A and B are shown apart, each in its own frame.
Chain A
């Protein structure tokens, strides 16, 4: 029996500590991990908790991130509650196995501390790794601050392990801006935290020797398509309602409310920025400041990135007149992901909103409040003109000559 840890109602934790405390409280059975900056402290803290008797679990040291996720897949298929963490190049090395985990319908929780992908080598936060994972069949939650990183882990386990869902889930947080930023985090007691998720109930586990099953089979043209279709079907029809239901349950349990799409002062807003991670909160502060000057502005944060909340986002943006899509990842050869997703979301809705794209914050480059005010000024001009007054894609915070496309 694991020891209980006494926590204060509010602990000053960075995002990494918040995530590892959640892993401890849900009593993860197996963590197979290969540490990489800036996610290292998550698995390091878990190992510390495990070594000091606060978790009845196993910490498996492996030789790479590919092996880390492979170990998680084995442990999950065997019938355990499983989690790990990674970032950046480590995430990239893990990609092959991510598809195995989702294809085998294994409810593994992966904490991704978002970081740039080199070259050039860079340890700081952007969303390149998060974007890389978006077709891998995982549920992807996005935290904007340490409190979110804590809460969303409990929610992720609850959703992923549901027998109707059985899909792995990532909990993303911004490298350094969340992972190494200490803020007040409202905690649950160990008992409360564990009880929200409950005991792990295995399904088709390999260690159930009375009911032998095969995992990781080969299917060629005869069955591969049906497998992938079922997986997609589960994400599209089961996961989203289950996430909403879990958000609702979590709000009842803790008073803290999460939404598939986080809309801040959007209801009567003319211009809105859509973004992810810490930028959402910074933009909320800018929205307050601009509203005090009478500007009808708002911010939309994507809380659940996969499955994409298409209908919910279309509803939120239906009356907006100009939208700025803010991508913290280089799309290398096209418009940003959020631009594309929002365009796809709005195309058949009859909207007349003007949509433009901003690439910002690569490799940890600061997104300042001044930048955001500039973007809202652009959007206002677009709204007044009824068409883009700027190039479709611009860079924010880039030194040297202004760079823009389309």
Chain B
């Protein structure tokens, strides 16, 4: 069982990201689950979304999770959200920030000694999609760090997932995914 927790602000697309990832993974024959914690959340409120992936059908519906990956798609959440909750020894963190990995760890000592990767998904999405929707670039970074799928396969499937959007938005998302893949450190 592979488990992923997203930390996001409502409106940044974590739910769409988690569901998109589940959709892509499902095409490979694996079983998936994508869900989120909602309150009566306002845009901008801190929230979490989740993925589970397994070779057998997923019966577990508890919200409790010890994640293998923690994806933080808003740069401020590492200072205000409990993003290390129920971590495992080898939990991997991929964090959106304009800081370098070293600068980030210096500013948030909770990350010391952990597997931390950084990428500026906010900047990437602003420069490619035209607004701060950091969900799809984070998936590009996850593909790089996890080695889950080849980039061509992943992008091909993401095009299908995003098919309802205008072509130029889809194209921009593909560039964003590739940039995050290339830039994550």
Contact = CB atoms under 8 A, between A and B. Distances in A.
A159 B15 CA distance: 35
A391 B113 CA distance: 46
B117 to A, nearest CB: 26
A12 B21 CA distance: 10
Given A12-B23, A184-B26, A281 B33 contact: no
Contacts of B146: none
Contact of A12 (B15, B34, B58): B34
Nearest to B51: A182
B62 A366 contact: yes
B58 A282 contact: no
B109 interface: no
A278 B33 CA distance: 13
Interface stretch (A83-91, A130-138, A173-181, A375-383): A173-181
Given A12-B19, A123-B38, A176-B38, A183 B33 contact: yes
Interface in A97-116: none
Given A182-B22, A182-B32, A183-B33, A369 B60 contact: yes
A285 to B, nearest CB: 4
B61 A123 contact: no
Nearest to A284: B59
B36 interface: yes
Interface in A22-56: 37
B83 interface: no
Contacts of B22: 12, 182-183
A279 interface: yes
B19 A182 contact: yes
Given A12-B26, A180-B38, A184-B26, A367 B31 contact: no
Interface string A346-375: 000000000000000000001111100000
Given A181-B35, A182-B34, A369 B62 contact: yes
B43 interface: no
B129 to A, nearest CB: 23
A8 B144 CA distance: 28
A366 to B, nearest CB: 4
B63 interface: yes
B39 A123 contact: yes
Nearest to B50: A181
A37 B38 CA distance: 11
Contacts of A174: 61
A14 B34 CA distance: 8
Contacts of A182: 18-19, 22-23, 32-35
Contacts of A278: 61
A180 B36 contact: yes
B90 interface: no
Contact of B61 (A10, A121, A281): A281
B86 to A, nearest CB: 11
Interface in A280-312: 281-282, 284-285
Nearest to B20: A12
B55 to A, nearest CB: 13
A177 B38 contact: no
B36 A183 contact: no
Contact of B64 (A123, A176, A285, A368): A368
Interface in A251-298: 278-279, 281-282, 284-285
A107 to B, nearest CB: 31
Contacts of A176: 35-36, 38
Nearest to B24: A12
B64 A366 contact: yes
B58 A183 contact: yes
A184 B32 contact: yes
Given A12-B19, A12-B22, A123-B40, A285 B35 contact: no
Contacts of B40: 37, 121, 123
Contacts of A367: 61-62
Contacts of B34: 12, 181-183
Most A-side CB within 10 Å, residue of B22, B26, B32, B62? B62
A183 B62 contact: no
A291 to B, nearest CB: 14
Contacts of B62: 282, 366-369
A243 B85 CA distance: 45
Nearest to B31: A184
Nearest to A182: B34
Top 8 closest pairs, chain A to chain B, by CB: A278-B61, A181-B35, A281-B59, A182-B34, A12-B23, A366-B63, A285-B59, A368-B62
Given A12-B23, A183-B31, A368-B64, 13 more contacts: A177-B63, A180-B15, A180-B35, A181-B34, A181-B35, A181-B61, A182-B32, A281-B61, A282-B59, A284-B59, A285-B60, A366-B63, A369-B64
24 contacts: A10-B26, A12-B22, A12-B23, A12-B34, A37-B40, A123-B38, A123-B39, A124-B38, A145-B61, A174-B61, A177-B61, A180-B15, A181-B33, A182-B18, A182-B32, A182-B33, A183-B31, A184-B26, A184-B31, A282-B61, A282-B62, A366-B62, A368-B62, A368-B64
Interface of B: 15, 18-19, 22-23, 26, 31-36, 38-40, 58-64
